[in-house]
Amino acid sequence: MREIILKVLSEVACGNTGTCQINLQSESAQIMIADKLEKELDVYVKSMLEDILCCELTDGACNIDENCCGGDCHTNE
């Protein structure tokens, strides 16, 4: 999760220009960052839940390829 947060913050920080500064006291900046984090973390959490549920449904046989529910939640692995 830490890597995802750092990746999003790096994208928001305009590292490629060196001139962008985000005012974290600004509500619009907070919303922008929260929206980007939510999108990335949602994929992560869904993938974790699917991994857990598939293992529970198959008595611990955690072969994701065989036990996958068919959703598109493993795309960021």
pLDDT in tens, 6-26: 998 888 877 666 667 788 899
The CA distances from residue 56 to 2, 6, 59, in Å, are 26, 31, 5
- Residue 77: the pLDDT is 45
Structure tokens at 35: 């929206």
The residue type of 41 is: L
Length of the chain: 77
- Residue 70: the pLDDT is 57
Average pLDDT (61-71) is 55
Average pLDDT (45-50) is 87
- pTM for this entry: 0.60
